[in-house]
Amino acid sequence: MTPSPIVERAGSHSSLAITHIGELVTWDDDQPIRRDAGLVIEDGRVAWVGPSADTPSADDAIDADGRAVVPGFVDSHTHLVFAGDRAEEFAARMAGQRYEAGGIRTTVAATLAASEDELLRLARRRLAEARAQGTTTIEIKSGYGLDVATEERLLRIASELTPETTYLGAHVVPDGWDADAYVDLVTGDMLAACAPHARWVDAFCETGAFDADQARTVLEAGMAAGLQARVHANQLGFGPGVQLACEVGAAAADHCTYLTDADVAALADSGVVAGLLPGVEFSTRHPYPDARRLLDAGVRIALATDCNPGTSYTSSMPFCIALAVREMGLTPTEALFAATQGGAWSLRRDDVGHLRPGARADLALLDAPSHVHLAYRPGVPLVSRVLVAEV
């Protein structure tokens, strides 16, 4: 076992061959999982996959020695830029207190008190933690500022770490504000300041946060400014969030804990990805989403960590894969697919989440013979080497 995984840039090799791969997960339509395989990387892209014995020569080589290689995880929902923690809140929930959205304001206060350098340092540390566990693509939201200057600062910091940045000014209504007046700020001066640093716009459509009309106003304003939409939907109870996501053509409706049959049908018909965040249910004791129900209805799903200090303070996609298998009705293969290709769908990316020729050479080498061990050996640090493309 490798206690400290090697994380390196695939582009540091002009060409690199990985041979004797016990199991190679590519998600290729014809042969999604190969045994005794080889893979060649050129200039940060997958150039060839096939039988190990036929692997072309390259400038450098890695002998996988029978271990598994999987696509780098695509974490499509995180709140990585913040200060402080909410350990006491977690302890209270474990003692029986119910989670409500208002706890976000505690993190807002800590984040406002932190310097920009401190926020960047903390976010870089969390990103390194995620990367060492196999995450190679990550989305990061704002939402812990709730004023123009701080939301803009959070997105500037996030944009130093990933191109997948999300403007979440509509996280909760700050203390002392009328909700509609705050929506005017979110869709006005705040949006103008934040849009240059964001790819996505999001809204927390939930009791205690924003209703459907307010969330729709935020999403439509963001889309008019050139951002693409995603929605925090149906986390705390049945509500309009999923239907709103489908109505506006969002890439993803995330959480999806409480769904009616009509919600499931809308997701299947629209192609909106259902982002499932099992770390939240683990940390709040809400029921887990029924992923089997969604897959059987033809809904595309993604797994993500929702790394945040209040409801899911984990950066571990392997942990979320294990939860999805144990608690949400997925097979190990389905869970890995949701954590890789599903995440890519959620971010509307076709260059990550798989290892077909042409993909970014983002991958994780497991200290195990099969991807099944990600769920079979929960909590064990199986990721021994991570390659992240430079393209």
**Mean pLDDT confidence for 352-370:** 98
At residue 119, the pLDDT reads 97
**329 alpha carbon, distance to own chain's centre:** 20
The pLDDT tens digits for 122-181 are: 999 999 999 999 999 999 999 999 999 999 999 999 999 999 999 999 999 999 999 999
pLDDT of 134 reads 98
CATH of the domain at 330: 3.20.20.140
Question: Could you report the per-residue pLDDT of 65-79, keeping only the tens digit for each?
Answer: 999 999 999 999 999
Q: What is the pLDDT of residue 101?
A: 53
CATH number of the domain where residue 41 is located: 2.30.40.10
pLDDT band (50, 70, 90) for residue 100: low
**The model scores a pTM over 0.75:** yes
| 313 and 164 within one domain | yes
- At position 162, the amino acid (one-letter code) is T
Does residue 176 sit in the same domain as residue 39?
Answer: no
Instruction: Please give the Cα distance from 355 to 348 (Å, whole number).
Output: 16
* Domain assignment of residue 367, given as a range: 6-72+353-388
- Does residue 281 share a domain with residue 166? yes
Closest CA to 75 of 119, 134, 128: 134
Could you tell me if residue 276 is inside a domain?
yes
In a domain, 82, yes or no: yes
Q: Are residues 80 and 66 in the same domain?
A: no
- Residue 372 to residue 25: CA distance in whole angstroms: 11
Tell me, yes or no, whether 28 and 93 share the same domain.
no
Instruction: Output the pLDDT for position 2.
Output: 44
For 141, the token pair is 């939201």
238, 374: one domain: no
- 131 within some domain: yes
* Strand 33-42, strand 363-366: pairing: unpaired
Please tell me whether residues 110 and 237 are part of one structural domain.
yes
For the chain, the residue count is: 391
Q: What is the pLDDT of residues 32-43, one digit of tens each?
A: 999 999 999 999
Pairing of strands 301-303, 60-63: unpaired
Mean pLDDT within 244-272: 98
Q: Is residue 120 assigned to a domain?
A: yes
Q: What band does 3 get if pLDDT is binned at 50, 70 and 90?
A: low
The residue type of 317 is: M
Could you tell me if 180 and 316 lie in one domain?
Answer: yes
Indicate if 174 and 44 belong to the same structural domain. no
pLDDT band at 378 (very low <50, low <70, confident <90, very high): very high
Same domain, 41 and 151: no
Residue 114 resides in a domain:
yes
Tell whether the model's pLDDT for residue 99 goes beyond 70: no
Q: Longest C-alpha distance within the chain, in Å?
A: 67
pLDDT of 203 reads 98
Q: Do 51 and 157 have their domain in common?
A: no
Residue 357 maps to a domain? yes
Boundary (domain end) residue, out of 329, 346, 363: 346
Count of domains observed in the chain: 2
Q: What is the mean pLDDT of residues 361-385?
A: 97
pLDDT at 14: 84
AA identity, residue 204: F
Which residues in 1-39 are b (16+ Cβ under 10 Å) and which e? eeeebebeebbebebbbbbbbbbbbbbeeeebbbeebbb
Residue 1 covered by a domain: no
Same domain, 133 and 43: no
Edge to edge, the sheet with strand 135-141 lists 73-75, 135-141, 164-170, 200-205, 228-233, 252-255, 273-276, 301-303
